[in-house]
Amino acid sequence: MPEKNIIGSKLWDEILKAIVYVMPKQLFPLIKEVYGIEYPPDTPVRLLGTEHSTYTNNTEASPSSNLMDISLLIADKDYFHIECQMENDKIMVIRMISYDLHYAIEHCISKDHLADELIIRFPHSFVLYPGQNKNLPDSLQCRIIFQDDSEHIYRIPAVKIQSYSLEEIHEKHLNLFIPYLLLRLNPRITSKKYPLSKKELTAFLNEIIVILQEDLTNGYLTKQECNDFINLLVQASGHVFFHCPEYHKEVLRMTKPLIYLPSMQIMDLEARIAEMNSALAEKDSALAEKDSTIAEKDSEIAALRAALESLTH
């Protein structure tokens, strides 16, 4: 039986955080899908703090805070806030309003000097739903009524990963979805009428591997990013197939060759040889410099000895 992941139910949040922290530009295709904003590959991405202080009426109470999943600044001008949510939490929209308000106060306040007024601009926000659930919303919204009875609809997109086919994921380069794809097999794992067969699992994994291999070949992924996605898929497998170790073993069997492709081993060996040659060249240069310094010192000592000898005779 695979080892139970200590992250437990937080695994899916942690997968998203791991992807964003290690390869944040893999978010670009998702942002294009949600907001239609397209960024060049060299666009700078800066991760921002996710903890924001909250206010309390009780001055004696301990300070509290909101902890968001992902917040970042792209192209030095566009602020984004992303949450990963497994269930259809009915008050999720309220939490998002709270998160976005604190986020905007910290990062997105500006001033209109002509009108002499402050402006608070909310970030581009959306909720990512990795799970397989028919009750997940297409968007989150809340009607906000201000004290003057004016109204505003706070609405943010909801992205349902399992609603995307593998063809769509491949076409749109939504590789960020890949570690979550095994979740769509959950209903088949426990089904007595239509149980998941090893053949179906193998075919499904083959399709995922082809997506990664083609995006690696076409430059949408680096070798390291490809390996990272495979490793995250294996982490997800340990969780999804915790009670079905034979399925997890099949995932390990199929993903291992991708991680250790012969071409990748050759590239790694060539890189290590180049590093060693560079290190040896540096050492040779240092030794040559040291030999030169020793020769200079020997020459100085010989000159001093000659001067001393001329003075004593």
**Out of 179-183, 188-192, 210-214, 307-311, least confident range:** 307-311
pLDDT reported for residue 277: 81
Q: What is the mean pLDDT of residues 126-146?
A: 90
- The burial class, CB within 10 Å (0-12 / 13-18 / 19+), for 95 is middle
User: Which residues partner with 142 through β-bridges?
Assistant: 154
* Closest CA relative to residue 72, chosen from 90, 92, 46: 46
Distance CA 181, CA 179 (A): 6
β-strand partners of 145? 151
Predicted confidence (pLDDT) per residue in 58-100, tens digit = 545 444 445 778 899 999 999 999 999 988 888 899 999 999 9
Mean pLDDT of the chain: 84
pLDDT band, residue 57 (cuts 50/70/90)? very low
pLDDT tens-digit map of 137-176:
889 999 999 999 999 999 999 999 999 999 999 999 999 9
311: pLDDT confidence band, cut at 50, 70 and 90? low
Higher pLDDT, 308 or 169: 169
Domains contained in the chain, number: 1
CA–CA distance, 126 with 129 (Å, rounded to integer): 10
Can you say whether the dihedral through the CA atoms of 192, 196, 197, 200 is positive or negative? positive
Name residues whose C-beta falls within 8 Å of residue 296's C-beta, 6 or more positions apart in sequence.
Answer: none
Q: What is the pLDDT of residues 254-271, one digit of tens each?
A: 887 665 555 556 666 777
Tokens of 219: 């430059």
pLDDT score of 211 more than 90: yes
Amino acid at 248: H
**Which residue segment(s) compose the domain that 57 sits in?**
1-163
In a domain, 142, yes or no: yes
Q: What one-character-per-residue DSSP string does 47-64 give? A: E---EEEE--S-TTSPPE
Average pLDDT over residues 173-189: 92
**106-133 burial, b if ≥16 CB within 10 A, otherwise e?**
ebeeeeeeeeeeeeeebbbbbbbbbbbe
pLDDT at position 62: 47
Compute the average pLDDT of residues 223-230.
91
Instruction: Write down the H helix ranges in 50-181.
Output: 92-107, 166-171
Per-residue confidence band for 51, with pLDDT thresholds at 50, 70 and 90: low
Please report whether residue 136 resides in a domain.
yes
Locate 65 and state its tokens.
């805070």
Q: For residue 155, what are its two tokens?
A: 């609405």
Cα–Cα distance measured from residue 104 to residue 121, given in angstroms and rounded to the nearest whole number: 6
Q: Tell me the helix, strand and coil percentages in the chain, rounded to 5.
A: 55, 15, 30
Q: Which residue in 172, 159, 240, 228 sits closest to 204, CA to CA? A: 240
Range from 23-27, 88-92, 225-229 carrying the lowest mean pLDDT? 88-92
Q: Has residue 170 been placed in a domain?
A: no
- Predicted confidence band of residue 296 (pLDDT cuts 50, 70, 90): confident
Mean pLDDT, rounded, for 187-210: 89
Q: Is residue 73 part of a domain?
A: yes
Q: Is residue 296 part of a domain?
A: no
Residue 3: band (very low, low, confident or very high) from pLDDT cuts 50, 70, 90: very low
In a domain, residue 117? The reply is: yes
Other beta carbons within 10 Å of 33: 17
Cβ atoms of residues 52 and 27 within 8 Å: no
Going by pLDDT thresholds of 50, 70 and 90, the confidence category of residue 4 is: very low
Residues 6+ apart with CB under 8 A from 2: 237, 238, 241, 242, 245, 248
Q: Torsion angle, CA of 93/178/175/214, rounded to 10 degrees?
A: -160
* pLDDT for residue 308 is more than 70: no
Quick one: pLDDT band at residue 210, thresholds 50, 70, 90?
Answer: very high
